[in-house]
C-alpha cells in the first residue's frame, strides 16, 4: 500500500501478526451471505410472483434496473463514508437499510412498489463491498489480501446457495410475504455481532492481538475525486467492474427464470441446480484468491500473479456461451457453474487492485467508483436481458455477452495499467 499521512494500525501492528484478522474475515463472509440471500430472494420467487402478480418481462427488468441504479449511487456514497468513518460504522448503517428494505418487499403489492423496495435494498447493499474491502485492506497485507478477499467474497455464493434451498420451505409454510419479513428480521442478529465484536481487543500467546480502531476518521482528508478521476489505474478497475459485474448480476437475477423456461424447473426444484452452481462459484472465489496469493509468495510479481490468474479465469468463462443449447440439465449446470467460478476468481483479483495500487485514504473512493460502474453495467444488462426475452424469447445473446466479457475486461486492464505500479500519494495531491 502507498504511504499515508498518519501512522495507521497497519503500519504500527502488521496485519500478519493479528490472529483476530481471521475473525474479521469471518464476520465479513457472513455479512455477504446475508447480502446475497436478500438480493437473490426475488429472483427465486420470480416465476411464481410473475404469474400471481401479472408481471411482464420488462416489469421484472425494471425492478433489477432500479435496484442497480440505487446500488450504483450508494456504492459511491459509501466509498466516501468509509474513507471518513471506517468500516464499522459504514457497514452497520448499510446493514440496517438493506434489512428494512428486505422486509418492505413483504408489503409490496404492485410492480411499482416492488421497484421502490428494490431501490431501497440497493441503497443499503451498496455499502457492503466498500466497507468490507476497506476492512480487508486494513487487516491483510498484499500476500494474504487476495485470499482474504476470496474468503470474504465467498459469502456471496453461500447466500446464493442457501436462498433456493430455504426460500421454498419458508414460503411453503408461511407464504412469500412472511418470508421477506422473517429474513429481514433474522439478518439483524448479525448486526449485533458486528457492533459487539469488531472492536473487541484480544490478548493471547504474549502478542497483543488488538483490532485496530480503523473506524476512527483519518486526520488527513480523503483524496479528492478530481484527482482520482484522472488516474488510469482507477479507470482500469472501474471499467473492469463495468464489464464483468453484469455477468454475475445476470446469473443472480435470471438463472431461476432460465432454468424454469429451458429445463422446466419450479420453486421446489430450483434448489439443487442453483446450489450446485453457486458451490462451484464459491470454490472459484477461494481458489482464485489463493492462486494469485500463492504466486506472490513464490516471488512472482503482483502484476503477473493477478493478471495470469485473471487470464485463466477469463478462458474458463468462455464455454458458458453454449450453455443455452444444452438440453441436459446437469451438463448445463456444470458449464454455468464453471463460468460462475471463473467470474469469482477473476473478481477477487480485480477487487484487490485498489488496495494494491492506491494509498489507504483513496481506496474507498476507488472501490466506490468501480462499484458504481459495475452497477451501471448491470443496469444496461438488465434492460438488454429484458428486451431480448421480450422480443426474441431467447437467452442465447445474453449468454454470448457473458462468455466474452472477461477477456475484454482483462485486455482493457492491461492497456490502462500494464505494470500495476502503485500510485504515489504525491501524484494524487492537488
Q: One digit per residue, pLDDT tens: the chain, 430 residues?
A: 333 333 333 333 444 445 677 788 888 898 888 888 888 899 889 888 988 899 888 999 999 999 989 988 887 787 778 777 777 888 888 889 999 999 999 999 899 999 999 999 999 988 887 888 777 877 777 677 777 877 787 787 788 788 888 888 888 888 999 989 988 888 888 888 888 877 533 433 322 334 344 444 444 566 778 888 889 999 999 999 999 999 998 998 899 899 999 999 988 888 899 889 988 988 898 899 899 989 998 999 999 999 999 999 999 999 999 999 999 999 999 999 999 999 999 998 998 898 888 887 788 788 878 888 998 999 999 999 999 999 998 999 999 999 999 999 999 999 999 998 888 776 666 5
pLDDT of residue 429: 65
**Helix or strand (DSSP H, E) at 207:** strand 207-209
Task: Answer whether residue 3 is part of any domain.
Answer: no
Q: Other C-beta atoms within 10 Å of 192: how many? A: 9
DSSP states along 16-69:
GG-TTHHHHHHHHHHHHHHHHHHHHHHHHHHHHHHHHHT--HHHHHHHHHHHHH
**43 within a domain of the structure (yes/no):** yes
What is the domain-level CATH number for residue 165? Answer: 1.20.1250.20
Model pLDDT, residue 211: 39
Structure pTM? 0.75
CA–CA separation, 369 and 227 (whole Å)? 13
Q: Answer yes or no: is 10 within a domain.
A: no
SS3 219: coil
Q: Would you say residue 7 lies in a domain?
A: no
Q: Are 155 and 37 within 8 A, CB to CB?
A: no
Query: In terms of Cα–Cα distance, which of 409, 407, 420, 412 is closest to 300?
Result: 420
Query: How many domains does the chain fold into?
Result: 1
Looking at residue 359, its pLDDT comes to: 83
In a domain, 424, yes or no: yes
Q: 238: domain range?
A: 17-200+217-428
Structure confidence at residue 223 (pLDDT): 75
**Is residue 225 situated within a structural domain?**
yes
pLDDT at 8 (0 to 100): 37
Residue 220's pLDDT is: 53
In a domain, 321, yes or no: yes
Amino acid at each position: 500500500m502507498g504511504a499515508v499521512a498518519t501512522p495507521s494500525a497497519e503500519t504500527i501492528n502488521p496485519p500478519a501478526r493479528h490472529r483476530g484478522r481471521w475473525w474479521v474475515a469471518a464476520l465479513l463472509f457472513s455479512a455477504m451471505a446475508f447480502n446475497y440471500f436478500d438480493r437473490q430472494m426475488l429472483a427465486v420467487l420470480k416465476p411464481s410472483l410473475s404469474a400471481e402478480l401479472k408481471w411482464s418481462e420488462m416489469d421484472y427488468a425494471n425492478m433489477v434496473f432500479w435496484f442497480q441504479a440505487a446500488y450504483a449511487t450508494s456504492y459511491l456514497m459509501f466509498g466516501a463514508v468509509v474513507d471518513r468513518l471506517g468500516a464499522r460504522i459504514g457497514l452497520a448503517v448499510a446493514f440496517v437499510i438493506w434489512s428494512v428494505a428486505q422486509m418492505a418487499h413483504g408489503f409490496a403489492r404492485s410492480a411499482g412498489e416492488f421497484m421502490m423496495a428494490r431501490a431501497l435494498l440497493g441503497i443499503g447493499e451498496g455499502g457492503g463491498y466498500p466497507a468490507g474491502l476497506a476492512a480487508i485492506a486494513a487487516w491483510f497485507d498484499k500476500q494474504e489480501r487476495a485470499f482474504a478477499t476470496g474468503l470474504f467474497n465467498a459469502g456471496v455464493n453461500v447466500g446464493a446457495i442457501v436462498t433456493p434451498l430455504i426460500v421454498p420451505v419458508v414460503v411453503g409454510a408461511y407464504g412469500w410475504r412472511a418470508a421477506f419479513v422473517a429474513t429481514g428480521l433474522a439478518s439483524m442478529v448479525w448486526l449485533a455481532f458486528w457492533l459487539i465484536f469488531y472492536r473487541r481487543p484480544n490478548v493471547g500467546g504474549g502478542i497483543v492481538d488488538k483490532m485496530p480502531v480503523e473506524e476512527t476518521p483519518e486526520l488527513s482528508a480523503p483524496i479528492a475525486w478530481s484527482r482520482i478521476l484522472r488516474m488510469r489505474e482507477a479507470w482500469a478497475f472501474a471499467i473492469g467492474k463495468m464489464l464483468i459485474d453484469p455477468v454475475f448480476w445476470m446469473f443472480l437475477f435470471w438463472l431461476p427464470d432460465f432454468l424454469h423456461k429451458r429445463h422446466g424447473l419450479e420453486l421446489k426444484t430450483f434448489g439443487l441446480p442453483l446450489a450446485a452452481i453457486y458451490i462451484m462459484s464459491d470454490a472459484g472465489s477461494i481458489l482464485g484468491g489463493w492462486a494469485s496469493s500463492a504466486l506472490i509468495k513464490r516471488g512472482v510479481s503482483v502484476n503477473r500473479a493477478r493478471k495470469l490468474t485473471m487470464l485463466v479465469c477469463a478462458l474458463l468463462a468462455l464455454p458458458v456461451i453454449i450453455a443455452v443449447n444444452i438440453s441436459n440439465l446437469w451438463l448445463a449446470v456444470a458449464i454455468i457453474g464453471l463460468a460462475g467460478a471463473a467470474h469469482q476468481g477473476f473478481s477477487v483479483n480485480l477487487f484487490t487492485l485498489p488496495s494494491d495500487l492506491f494509498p489507504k485514504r483513496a481506496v474507498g473512493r476507488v472501490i466506490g467508483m468501480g462499484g458504481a460502474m459495475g452497477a451501471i453495467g448491470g443496469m444496461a444488462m438488465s434492460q438488454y436481458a429484458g428486451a431480448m426475452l421480450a422480443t426474441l424469447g431467447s437467452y442465447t445473446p445474453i449468454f454470448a455477452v457473458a462468455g466474452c466479457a472477461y477477456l475484454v475486461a482483462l485486455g482493457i486492464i492491461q492497456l490502462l495499467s500494464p505494470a500495476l505500479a502503485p500510485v504515489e500519494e504525491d501524484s494524487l495531491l492537488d
